[in-house]
């Protein structure tokens, strides 16, 4: 039996990207353009820090690779709209293996 294929993102990194995006932009806070710019920076910065750490420590990526993946995650979390229900959100789910969790909760197990 072969080892399971590793995902691009660790599932915790994918969950962090989507959670940060939802907190900052999914709630649709209306606080003006200054707060929007600040929210974009905070979401991107938090996503970068979390994803880089998770990718390096839990996923075993080299520091340079972890930072590159963190930059992609920061862009996804920092755009000023909720990405969860978009193509970007679907890509994050697929790249992190989080799409498999739906199969687990429905009792189907992991795909082979």
Q: Which two tokens stand for residue 3?
A: 């080892």
What is the structure's pLDDT at 102? 60
Residue (of 88, 111, 81, 85) closest to 9 by Cα position:
88
Q: Tell me, yes or no, if the pTM score tops 0.85.
A: no
Check residue 24 and give its pLDDT: 87
- With cut-offs at 50, 70 and 90, classify the pLDDT of residue 101: low
- DSSP reduced 3-state for 65: helix
In this prediction, residue 82 carries a pLDDT of: 81
- Give the largest CA-CA distance in the chain: 55
Q: Give start and end residues of each alpha helix (H) in 1-32.
A: 11-21
pLDDT in tens, 37-72: 888 999 999 999 999 999 999 999 999 999 999 999
Give the model confidence (pLDDT) of 15-27 as tens digits: 999 999 988 887 7
Q: Which of 69, 66, 77 is nearest to 43 (CA)?
A: 77
63 versus 99: which is more confidently predicted?
A: 63
């Amino acid at each position: 039996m072969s080892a399971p294929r590793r995902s691009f993102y660790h599932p915790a990194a994918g969950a962090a990207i989507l959670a940060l995006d939802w907190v900052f932009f999914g709630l649709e806070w209306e606080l003006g353009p200054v707060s929007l710019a600040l929210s974009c920076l905070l979401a991107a910065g938090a996503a970068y820090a979390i994803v880089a750490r998770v990718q390096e420590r839990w996923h075993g990526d080299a520091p340079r690779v972890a930072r590159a993946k963190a930059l992609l995650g920061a862009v996804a979390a920092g755009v000023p709209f909720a990405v969860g229900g978009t193509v970007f959100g679907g890509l994050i789910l697929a790249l992190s293996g989080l799409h498999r969790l739906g199969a687990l909760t429905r009792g189907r197990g992991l795909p082979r």
